Homo-oligomer: A and B are copies of this chain.
Amino acid sequence: MIPTLKGNMLIAQSGGPTAVINRSLVGAIQEAKRHKEIQGIYGARHGIKGLLDENIIDLRRESAANLAAVAATPSAALGSVRKKPTQEECRRIFDVLRKYNVHYLFYIGGNDSAETTQIIADEAIKLNYEFRCFHIPKTIDNDLLENDHTPGFGSAAKFVACAVLGSSLDNSALPGVTIDVIMGRHAGFLAASAALARVCPDDGPHLIYLPERPFDLAQYLNDVKRVYDRLGRCVVVVSEGISDAAGTAIATKFSSEKDSHGNIQLSGTGALGDLLANEIRSKAGITRVRADTFGYLQRSFPGLVSETDAREAQTVGKLAARWSVGKAPSGSVAIRRSPGKKYAVFFECVPLAAVAKATRHMPEEFINKEGNDVTQAFLDYARPIVGPLPKVARLRGVRVPRLG
C-alpha cells in the first residue's frame, strides 16, 4: 500500500499509433473517475510535447458516449510524438506538472515511452515531488520485455493475417511471386503472424523472413525457386527489418546503389519490396513478381480489431489508474499468460526499468531451423491473441475427364 495522494491526473500517448491505443486511454479515464483521489483528468496533446507546450485538454468534459466512440477509433486520439525529454525539458515538465497540480501521470507507449516514463519518475524522486507515474503498454511490434504480448499487436497481426490471406488467394488466381513487406524493425512477431493465414498445406505464405535471423540473398533466391518449382507460385513475407549477418538492414544496404530514392526509411517506402522483387526477376527467371508493402495500414485500419486485443488494451489502461491509487508509486502493466491449454492472462505491476529501452525478440522456438518460417509453437502462441480470421473456401475442383 502507498500513501493517499490527492491531485490531478494527466495522460498522454506516444510512439506509433495502434488500432486499440484509444481503448487504453479510455480505460484509464473510466477507472480514474472511480477514484476520488484523482481530481482533474487531463490529456496532453502529442505526448510530452503537449506537456511542454501546455497543450492540455480536460478529459472530464468528454461525454461517456464520445469516449466509447473514441475507444473504438484507431490511432492516438490525443495525438502522439516520438521524443525523449532532455534534462532541461525534464525540469520544464515538472514546472508544468506543479502548475497544474498534476500528481498522476500515465504514458501509453512502447519501450521508448517506458524509458521516458522512467526518466520522469526518477526526476520526481530527485525533486521529492509526490508522484504516481505509470507506463501503459502498447506496440504493434510486440517487442516489450516482461509481456507475453502487447496491446496493439493482436489487431495489427489480424490485419497482417487477413491481408496475406487475401494476397495468397490473389497469387493463386494469377500465379507468380508475391512479396509482402510487413512492419517490424527488430522483432518479427508481426511478419510471423502472416502464417495464421494458412488453411490448406499449399496456402501462402510459403516463406517468412524475420529480423531475428540473418537474411541471405542467395538462400532467399533458392527458397523462392524451390517453392515456385513445386507450386508454380510463391508468397513471401518479409519483415521490413531483415538484416544481413553483420546486422545491416537489407533496405539500407542497397540504398547507395539507388540515390534517386534518397533517404531510405524502413516504413513508408516501397524500396525493400521492390529490391527483393528485382532480385527474383533478374536472377530466378520468373517474370510475374509483385511486391506490396503494407505500411501504416497495419496499425490504423478501422473496423478490424482482435476482440482479445481490444479487451486487454482497455484493461491495462484501467489497471494503471487503479494501481496508481493504491498499489505502487510507479510501474508498468505487464500482460502475462496463464499456463494451461485454454487462453487466459493475468496482469502484473513491473518496474519501469524492466520494460524501458530494451527490445524483446521472437524466441528461438518460434522460428524454424532454416530461418524461413515459423513453428507450430508460434501459431499456438499467436492464434488466441489474434482471434478468428474470415472463413475462405476453395472449389473442390473435380476434374472433368479429358475426352479423346
Contacts and interface: CB of A to CB of B under 8 A. Distances in A.
Given A69-B391, A398-B57, A74 B296 contact: no
Contact of A17 (B173, B274, B399): B173
Interface string A267-304: 11111011101100110000001111111110111111
Contacts of A17: 169-170, 173-174
Contact of A395 (B70, B270, B394): B70
A119 interface: no
A260 interface: yes
Given A80-B173, A173-B76, A282 B297 contact: no
Contact of A396 (B62, B178, B261, B303): B62
B260 A399 contact: no
B392 A302 contact: yes
Closest 8 CB pairs of A and B: A270-B270, A268-B290, A303-B390, A69-B393, A292-B295, A75-B169, A166-B300, A170-B300
Interface string A192-235: 00000000000000000000000000000000000000000000
Contact of A54 (B274, B393, B398, B402): B402
Q: Interface size class for chain A?
A: 35 or more
Contacts of A295: 290-293
B166 A302 contact: yes
A61 interface: yes
Contacts of A57: 395, 397-400
Q: How many copies does the complex hold?
A: 2
A392 B74 contact: yes
Interface in A53-95: 54-59, 61-63, 66, 69-70, 72-82
Contacts of A263: 281
B269 A282 contact: no
Nearest to A82: B174
Interface string A152-176: 0000000000110111011011110
Contacts of A271: 270, 274
B70 A394 contact: yes
